[in-house]
Structures are given as structure tokens and as C-alpha cells.
Amino acid sequence: MKKLFVLLFFAVSIWGKVLSPVAEIEASGNVIDLVSQEGLLIAGTAAGTLEVYDDKTLELIKKVEFKTIEDFMGETIPPKVFSVDKIKSKEIYLAMMQSPTSYRRIAIVEGDEQKLLISEDDQLMIQKAKFYDEDHILIALLSNEIILYEIATKKEIYRHQLTESHFSDLSFSDDKSLLATADESGRVYILDPKTGERLKTLEGGNVDNIYNIDFHKDRVITAGQDRRSIVYNVNTGSFDRYNTNFLIYACAMSPSQRYGAIAINEENDIGIYDLNSGRELYVLKGQKTTLNSIVFVNENELFSGSDDRYILYWRMP
């Protein structure tokens, strides 16, 4: 059953309690990607760094700086780190970053060693890269091709073209048995990441480009250019729809699926919703620039990153 939640954000303070950030982290540069895992917050920045913080003390634990590159004007700049990840229970990190050309690089970081796995010579227009397991990386290209890449052999296990639409985002299910991907068509595809087989298409919610998605248990939440956030039930294909008055650049779902967080307006506020009732609970105010990422640490704590160097830490009552 489809539900439509029309949210009147000019009256948002009446509906939801306004919360301010509890604390902030000053990263080395604009924050592009955030990952929460096992008590750690991992950030990729425009200053050419991968930074790891303790998500309780907010202290910097590890900082990896990547070599500068020359841009098309011949100027020396740090490479923007677009996508980061970590292998669970191991101190092995992944960074997908800018190269001197329009193609992108992927580096693996273990201890103090940086290993360039994919360079601009491989001519891949990578949009996102995440670990599938210890031996493989899941890579998504702008062309909406999904690649399972074996780290040891540097070979592609498969490469599948999903559609002709440009790729937007991807998210694994909690156990990584399923992969959700989104593109500019507004559709969400559920894949078997081991084989690349498309299992299901979720559609009807978004009608334009999806910027961001998050996947927990049997639900996927989207952030759309069409000013809609859609929460799909993966099993049934049914969805709930949340309308905003501005482009939705970022979204996230709490681990239990109870809460959804979406960017709701031009002021970069974040709305927190009860996904079972559709009720707005809180409005998080304090983000100064366009949101790039939101991640829940647990049911009541989350972080957000934007087009500045400040990562904001939020706690719900």
C-alpha cells in the first residue's frame, strides 16, 4: 500500500522538535563521504584525506594523506576522496579518488602502506566503490555498469550493464546478501552482488534522479532530485512517499528501520521521521552547507557531512 506524506516545512517547528548538534568534528577539507562502522566514523574529504574518528570521543584515530595530482590547468591539488570504506574487523581501508584525468583511482590502505589498485590508466569512470568482502570490491561506473573486482588478481569477476541511465548510488543490505542501486531514471534495482543478477526493480516512487540511498533489512530509503524521499519495502515493492520543498541530496535509515533522516529544505535542515507512522519527530538544525552524507551510528545518534569541513554529531532524546 502506498502512502503519501505531504510535509509542510514552513510549519516544521510545530510538527517536530528542533535539535542542535551536540558536537562537531573539523576535518581537513570538505566532507564528501561518511561511513559508520564498529565504533568508527570514516570520512573522505576534498583535501585528499581519509580520516578515521572514534564515534564516541570524536578523536582522530587515523589520517591518510594521498599524493597530490596535477589538474587540467597544471596546478598541484589534493585528490578529492569521493568514496571510502573499511573491511569489518580489519584495519584495511578503501579510498576512491580523483586522478589527473577524468578517470578515477582506487587505493587500498593497510597500516601505513598505500596500494594503488586501479589508476587512471585503467580508464574507469568510477562513481562509487565499496568492499564486498575481504577479496572483492564492488565498483559502479557512471555508465551504470556494476563490476565485481578481485583484489588479488586485479581482474573483473563480472561486469553488468544495468540500464542506459547514469548511475547515482548504491547500498548493501546489512549482511551484504543484496545490493540496491539507483540511477537517474528514479528506479531502484535489487541485485545479487555475488553474481550481478538483477532480482527486482522498485519503481513508481521517484520520477527523476536519485542522489542517495540507504538499505537496512527489507527497506530502502531514497533521496531524490524530484523532492521526494521514498521508503520501499523490498519484499512487496510498496512504498511510502515523503515530499519536501527542495532537492533531497542525502538520506539515511536507522539500523532497525525505525527512523529515517532526510535533507528537507534549502537551509540544509535534516528531518527525522518515524517510518512506521510517517510522523515527523525532530528537525536537526545547524548544517551550514549542502549535505553530502548522513549516517546513523545507532538508533539515537547520527553524523552528517556537507560541502564544508565540519562533521556534525547529533543525538536524539
Q: What is the rounded average pLDDT of the residues 23-34? A: 97
Does pLDDT of 8 surpass 90?
no
pLDDT bracket for residue 74 (50, 70, 90): confident
Q: Which domains does the chain have, with CATH numbers?
A: 3-315 (2.130.10.10)
The set of cell numbers assigned to 120 is: 587512471
Q: What is the rounded average pLDDT of the residues 203-216? A: 98
Q: Using H for helix, E for strand and C for coil, what is the string for the chain? A: CCEEEECCHHHHHHHCEEECCCEEEECCCCEEEEEEECCEEEEEECCCEEEEEECCCCCEEEEEECCCEECCCCCEECCCEEEEEECCCCCEEEEEEECCCCCEEEEEEECCEEEEEECHHHCCCEEEEEEEECCEEEEEECCCEEEEEECCCCEEEEEEECCCCCEEEEEECCCCCCEEEEECCCCEEEECCCCCCEEEEECCCCCCCEEEEEEECCEEEEEECCCEEEEEECCCCCEEEEECCCCCCCEEECCCCCEEEEECCCCCCEEEEECCCCCEEEEECCCCCCEEEEEECCCCEEEEEECCCEEEEEECC
Q: Which residues contact 267 (CB under 8 A, 6 or more apart)?
A: 285
pLDDT in tens, 95-130: 999 999 999 999 999 999 999 999 999 999 999 999
Q: What is the rounded average pLDDT of the residues 84-94? A: 96
pLDDT bracket for residue 15 (50, 70, 90): low
Q: What is the rounded average pLDDT of the residues 229-256? A: 97
pLDDT at 66: 98
pLDDT bracket for residue 13 (50, 70, 90): very low
Q: What is the rounded average pLDDT of the residues 5-19? A: 54
The set of cell numbers assigned to 289 is: 552547507
The whole-model pTM stands at: 0.93
Q: What does the alpha-carbon distance between residue 261 and residue 100 come to, in Å, rounded to a whole number?
A: 35
> Is-contact 83 99, C-beta < 8 A?
no
Q: How far is CA 278 from CA 6, 23, 250, 275, 317, in A?
A: 10, 28, 18, 5, 18
pLDDT in tens, 31-50: 999 999 999 999 999 999 99
Whole-number percent of the chain with pLDDT over 70: 95
> Is-contact 294 302, C-beta < 8 A?
yes
The rounded mean pLDDT for the chain is 94
Other Cβ atoms closer than 10 A to 3:
12
Query: Could you tell me which of 137, 141, 138 has the C-alpha nearest to residue 151?
Result: 137
Does pLDDT of 11 surpass 60?
no
pLDDT at 3: 46
pLDDT at 73: 80
